[in-house]
Structure 1
Amino acid sequence: MHANFHDPAATAFPGDAAASAVPSATEPARSSRGRLQILMSPYYGGSDFSMLEHGPARRIDRTSIADLLRNAFVYPPHSVYEDVKVVTYGFSPAQDMHGRPEFHYRFRDADKNRRARRDGLDWVGQYHRLLCAALARSCHEIRMPWLLQSGGKDSTPLAIAASEVRPETTCITYLGGTEENEVASASFVARKLGLRHETLVCDPARAYDRYLAIVPRMPLLTADFALLSYVDLVTQIARAGGDGVIDGMGSDSYFGLSVDRTHRMLSTLARGWRLPAFLGTLPLVERNFALCYVLATLQMERIERAFPGSRFTDAEVDELFGSDISARSRQRLDLYQEELASAHTVDEWFAIAMSLAGSAGGFAKGLLSSSALSMRPAYPFCDNELRDWVYREVPRELLVDPITKANKVLVREHIATRFDELPYVARKGSFRFDLCGLARTRFELVHDLSTHVRHILPGATQWLERNRGRLDNKYHASKFYLLAVVMPWLEHHGSGG
């Protein structure tokens, strides 16, 4: 990889001017001869899906469905519809997404490396003031805000800010499984700050039924592995009278990443090979998550292994569709190759890769779920003033520690003004979900759905029947999850397919 930096101090990012002109979700989507272009990033303001509510049935983009099954999100600027494109951060809203748009990663490392720390400046105090202002702005139209609270280094600063500017905020923590129990940390944070705290324990059947209830109102589709837990949470918040959700996504890109050894090693294993399907059914393999994961990694492109979760192989996707469609999905990566090749470090390469998954999957799950439930999403870390101050002003050593490689050093120092080190500041939590439990409790329903979408996925029923006995392995259960998310949306919205 070689250096080819985009220096924000010298030239403005193409989308910045357009972003400042998009202050809220009231900005209409662009339309041209029936084709739509929709803003789909909190960095650009709100998302308006109203133009999808009317008119004739739109044609499903089958390559986008292949994207979802291969990577759990649709490669931007594409959407699940052929004539609807989305503008995620990295693209400029001024471009025609139906043409040949250009992608440029916004938060390059070049400018960060040249900064010198200015002694005497209260960096933590300034960060706190900007964060409080960002949270207040993002929640100004929300009457009863609820904060998605893991007790970690993203949600804890938001809880600190909320206790000052929106003390009526309720924190809610999702207990999705036994892998990482975040409740104790999150509850302690809320209690010490004087905020109300609630816990929602994952019930995969309940979460899936809540998802099915909102599918008719979901304007577009993502299959992010936190989608069902997110829907479960937002539905719970709506039933409790909340009208807005504070989400801690958005700061990883401009603070920067420090990639651990495991992810670096897995990345080197990605070869894009096409291996025989029987290897995954061998007696010592089919029930071993780690072996299945390695076999799948060998069949991925390097960037695709950077995306989270276990997904269908290219051969399986072609089988599900009954046609050679996986190559068309993989070809969509060509749009990003030049930017990836310009990364100066492995960490920056991973940051560019993860920005794709975050924009098209992570943000999409919140925007689409909130839209379906008429909730207001708030992303304080996407605030322009806060974001630009951190990226343009904060010294490199306060972003990622040069010795320990711990990221978000400034955030950790901010948390330390109120708390000793918390468990999930040291180890990141997430919306865990009981994938095997979903397969166990909703297999018959998903199997029935597969017969209703044969016109798009003719091989889904056979895959489910062949793998039913393997769904106690999280690797195979993850694929079941993808089908469980995609097929009901196709059944309801896919008449134009």
Structure 2
Amino acid sequence: MNAATLGGHLDATVHAATPDRIQINASPDAGEVDFSPLGEHDHDFASLDLVSIADLLRNAFVYPPHTIYRNVKIAATGFDPTQDMHDHPQFHFAFQAALAPSRPPAGAVPDPVLLQTFHRLLCDAVARSTAGMQSPWLLQSGGKDSTSMAIAVAEACPRTTCLTYLGGKEEDEVASARFVAKKLGLRHEALVCDPGRAYDRYLALVPRTPLLTADFAALSYADLATEVGQNRGDGIIDALGSDQYFGVPLHRQDRLLAMLARRLRLPQDVFKSRLVSRSFKLCFALATLQMNGFERYFPGSRFSDTEVDELFGWNIASRSRKRMDTFHADITAAASAEAVRRISLVVGESAHLAKGMYVASAMALRLVYPYCDPKLRDWIFHDVPDDMLIGPGGVNKVLMRKYIAQHFEQLPYVQTKGCFRFDLRGLARQRFDQVHAFALQAQALLPGAPRWLETHRSRLDNKYFASKFYLLAMTLPWLLNRMQAAPRHQDVAINESVSS
């Protein structure tokens, strides 16, 4: 089946009986996600949502409440799980600063009281979420969130092992993370990124991974989770989830990128010049011109709308962009640029948290997010003064910084952002031929993928292009696994109502 046929059938009527609608509550504050309703979901071409594939290539995740399957929706943060996610779902994020009732003024609550309450609630969240785990592992990236989590874990769940990932030379936080764990009396392990090993581990999980995301830390997560499983761990503690209620201050670079995001359609030849193609910064700036301000908040370098249409062989990127309409009311009502960014963070959270949810499900590991505990979240949102959330000059998570300072002084990751990085260029060097073979097999779906890989092979030492290679490397094998039963002698019809 060629690309034109696929595009022509997007607006057609489903020939076969519509499959049962599936809805999954994926909000992290609801506890561990149950993917059992998916059961043995059909591994066939017709079950895939083509617009969701465009989402992945454009933004590295599927816009919620949609998923990679046409008949499966998720109730992520901002969506009421009691409503039908299939028919006109309503998004509303209740944890905007402007929506908070009157918080205590600065200085009204003594710091020792705030810190003691924070510690108690965080410890309670850890104890509740890890109950029943015999050998939990904390993903200790070295940032503020994981360091503060380690402090609570040492008291509430001291049987935990800390695991730090060395994804590249840009931020080597293994030594400081090990120092933190040792001082707290926690066992510590480190895992050095090997892109080929991580990719092999991901491919081994693909048949058991319930849904698909292409988050830029997903390969790291597959690597880490496999390591936990091989060391007889039975659960993972992840310190994500606090940004949505602590807030996400904008800095000069954020404002500059928002100004640069103009939704232009640039000719792709501009990226082929010797000067531009070798410069990550130039490529990133030109890519930003092609985005809108909201989608520029999403991390990483991704395929432009023009490139996505070329990968599919027909115009589909606009359908992916239209999915932003679901969030339009909240974006319009946002009281500040920080509020808009917080919405983007919540929308993107479907990928940041989902990568762990999907991988843990494939590994049969429990996964918990103590920072998503409703009691902890609600206390911080309602009872902590504003200046302890975002301080003067845009200093974020002031309360958390003071909490860490009770135990450690001037750790480097308090000044610089920590994260799980991945060797994108190394992945391209080690696995190009393998991903190109996947692209050849998936030409019925993405006829332009082989050519994109072939014409950009010499540029993959630039992280801008290597990031796009990563998106194909994540997406293609999962899709191929689900296309095993793709129909060859009948029309494939996609229902517009569940693909837009």
TM-score, reference length from structure 2: 0.91
User: Are 1:81 and 2:48 counterparts?
Assistant: no
**Could you say which residue in structure 2 is the equivalent of 1:369?**
359
Task: State the alpha-carbon separation in 1 of the partners of residues 217 and 76 from structure 2.
Answer: 19
Matching of residues 179-328 of structure 1 within 5 Å: 179-328=170-319
**Equivalent AA in structure 2 for residue 167 of structure 1:** P
Please tell me whether the aligned partners of residues 280 and 463 of structure 2 are also in contact (alpha carbons under 8 angstroms).
yes
Deviation at 1:33, TM superposition (A): 6.1
Change (3 A) 1:252 1:496: farther
Please tell me whether the aligned partners of residues 284 and 464 of structure 2 are also in contact (alpha carbons under 8 angstroms).
yes
Please tell me whether the aligned partners of residues 41 and 363 of structure 1 are also in contact (alpha carbons under 8 angstroms).
no
Report the 3-state secondary structure (helix = DSSP H, G, I; strand = E; otherwise coil) of the residue aligned with 1:198: strand
1:37 to 23, 33, 40: 23
**Equivalent AA in structure 1 for residue 75 of structure 2:** V
Deviation at 1:452, TM superposition (A): 1.2
**Could you say which residue in structure 1 is the equivalent of 2:87?**
99
Task: State the alpha-carbon separation in 1 of the partners of residues 145 and 478 from structure 2.
Answer: 31
**Could you say which residue in structure 2 is the equivalent of 1:380?**
370
Matching of residues 411-422 of structure 1 within 5 Å: 411-422=400-411
Report the 3-state secondary structure (helix = DSSP H, G, I; strand = E; otherwise coil) of the residue aligned with 2:390: coil
Please tell me whether the aligned partners of residues 103 and 382 of structure 2 are also in contact (alpha carbons under 8 angstroms).
no
Task: State the alpha-carbon separation in 1 of the partners of residues 272 and 152 from structure 2.
Answer: 51
Please tell me whether the aligned partners of residues 49 and 68 of structure 2 are also in contact (alpha carbons under 8 angstroms).
yes
**Equivalent AA in structure 1 for residue 443 of structure 2:** R
Deviations along 1:406-448, one digit per CA (max 9) or x if unpaired, are 1111111111111112111111111100000000000000011
Gaps of 5+ in 1: 1-31
Task: State the alpha-carbon separation in 1 of the partners of residues 134 and 27 from structure 2.
Answer: 23
Change (3 A) 1:119 1:61: closer
1:63 to 51, 58, 63: 51
Report the 3-state secondary structure (helix = DSSP H, G, I; strand = E; otherwise coil) of the residue aligned with 1:200: strand
Identity percentage over the alignment?
53
Deviation at 1:404, TM superposition (A): 2.9
Deviation at 1:301, TM superposition (A): 1.3
Deviation at 1:74, TM superposition (A): 0.2
Task: State the alpha-carbon separation in 1 of the partners of residues 102 and 374 from structure 2.
Answer: 21
Deviations along 1:263-293, one digit per CA (max 9) or x if unpaired, are 1100110111111111111121111111111
Report the 3-state secondary structure (helix = DSSP H, G, I; strand = E; otherwise coil) of the residue aligned with 2:275: coil
Task: State the alpha-carbon separation in 1 of the partners of residues 298 and 284 from structure 2.
Answer: 13
Runs of 4+ in structure 1 off by over 3 angstroms are 55-58, 112-115
**Could you say which residue in structure 1 is the equivalent of 2:468?**
479
**Could you say which residue in structure 1 is the equivalent of 2:38?**
52
**Equivalent AA in structure 1 for residue 27 of structure 2:** S
Task: State the alpha-carbon separation in 2 of the partners of residues 376 and 95 from structure 1.
Answer: 27
Change (3 A) 1:448 1:55: closer
Deviation at 1:260, TM superposition (A): 1.2
**Could you say which residue in structure 1 is the equivalent of 2:419?**
430
Change (3 A) 1:445 1:57: closer
Please tell me whether the aligned partners of residues 19 and 71 of structure 2 are also in contact (alpha carbons under 8 angstroms).
no
TM-score, reference length from structure 1: 0.91
Deviation at 1:387, TM superposition (A): 0.6
Please tell me whether the aligned partners of residues 113 and 396 of structure 1 are also in contact (alpha carbons under 8 angstroms).
no
Instruction: Output the aligned Cα RMSD.
Output: 1.3
1:133 to 113, 124, 127: 124
Task: State the alpha-carbon separation in 2 of the partners of residues 328 and 453 from structure 1.
Answer: 21
Report the 3-state secondary structure (helix = DSSP H, G, I; strand = E; otherwise coil) of the residue aligned with 2:203: helix
Instruction: State the aligned residue count.
Output: 464
Deviations along 1:147-200, one digit per CA (max 9) or x if unpaired, are 011222101111111111111110010000011111111011001001111010
Please tell me whether the aligned partners of residues 37 and 97 of structure 1 are also in contact (alpha carbons under 8 angstroms).
yes
**Could you say which residue in structure 2 is the equivalent of 1:10?**
none
Please tell me whether the aligned partners of residues 24 and 37 of structure 2 are also in contact (alpha carbons under 8 angstroms).
no
**Could you say which residue in structure 2 is the equivalent of 1:9?**
none
Report the 3-state secondary structure (helix = DSSP H, G, I; strand = E; otherwise coil) of the residue aligned with 2:62: coil
Task: State the alpha-carbon separation in 2 of the partners of residues 389 and 114 from structure 1.
Answer: 10
1:172 to 163, 167, 176: 163
